[in-house]
Amino acid sequence: MATPVSAATTPVQPSPDPLTLAIEWFGELGVFCSRVAKSLFTLPFEWSEFIHQLDAAGSKSLPLVALAGAATGVVLSLQSRASLTRFGAKSMLPAMIVFSIIKEMGPIITGLVASGRIGAGIGAELGSMRVTEQIDAMEASAVNPYRFLAATRILACIVVLPLLTLAADAAGILMGWVSNTLTEPISLQLFINRGLSGVSFSDFLPPTIKTAVYGLIIGTISCFQGMRTRGGTEGVGRSATSSVVLSSLFIIVADVVLVRFILVFFPA
């Protein structure tokens, strides 16, 4: 009769090094993106689910994004007044607020806030569907989960991020004016005229359009992390957390690259 092998003599498998894990992760992400791209050319497109995701990602994120933009405008107004007054350039405060929000603060704040609000929701939702085998049931029913679940959410994020950025910009400029007029009364029309006096269309359009790339990042990373969830409810929590963390990280990296790209084609 064979004697059982003790736990002490059981060989321990070495854990993969971080570089190997990163290479595997990017490889799986590439396969996921190819499947989603292929599903986009498979008819019919899920228009009802797409519209539902527009509402979930857009209108339900609007209050938080607008609040973040408003807070940015108030902080810029309060912090910049003393500095501009010190250098005798207090009259440039409206232009500074408008230019800062439109060029950088509005888009990046929108991207980071949306990665927390939208990314966590998608990661948790798809993660729950994976661990409860709902995605497996869809595949067994001949429903393509990459078309129904992933493609609709990714496209919705791409569409709503520029719109949310416009809302954040408007809220930031409005609250910047409110903060400024409480200290030194100025009409909203004069504030806007001074703020837009040095802003051209090329200053406004590229930073707003680049947030569509943020939407692509949020949708892709969140759907990917959610659909590869393992480990029950604990895995769902990990997927939601990793969706937010990775989306925010890639948005920051993409922002650096896109700013350089914009400066090449739209020099200041």
What average pLDDT does range 227-252 have in this prediction? 88
Asked if 157 contacts 215 with a C-beta cutoff of 8 angstroms, the reply is: yes
Question: What's at 260, amino acid-wise?
Answer: R
pLDDT at 1: 47
Compute and round to an integer the Cα radius of gyration of the chain.
23
Q: Which of 170, 51, 61, 172 is nearest to 116 (CA)?
A: 61
Q: Which residue has the higher pLDDT, 25 or 5?
A: 25
- Angstrom distance (rounded) from CA 239 to CA 120: 8
DSSP state string for 133-192: THHHHHHHTT--HIIIIIIHHHHHHHHHHHHHHHHHHHHHHHHHHHHHHHHS---HHHHH
Joined together, the tokens standing for residue 125 give 């939702």
> In angstroms, rounded to a whole number, what is the distance separating the alpha carbons of residues 32 and 234?
23
Percent of the chain with pLDDT over 70: 92
Which range has highest mean pLDDT (60-69, 84-93, 186-195, 226-235)? 60-69
- pLDDT at 101 > cutoff 60: yes
**Exposure of 15 by Cβ count < 10 A (0-12 exposed, 13-18 middle, 19+ buried)?**
exposed
pTM exceeding the 0.75 threshold for the entire prediction:
yes
Give the pLDDT band (50/70/90) at residue 215: very high
| Residue of 93, 65, 99 whose CA lies nearest to 77 | 93
Lowest mean pLDDT among 93-102, 194-203, 250-259: 194-203
Angle 61-64-70 (CA atoms, 0-180°, nearest 5)? 135
Please give the distance of CA 156 from its chain centroid, rounded to a whole number. Answer: 12
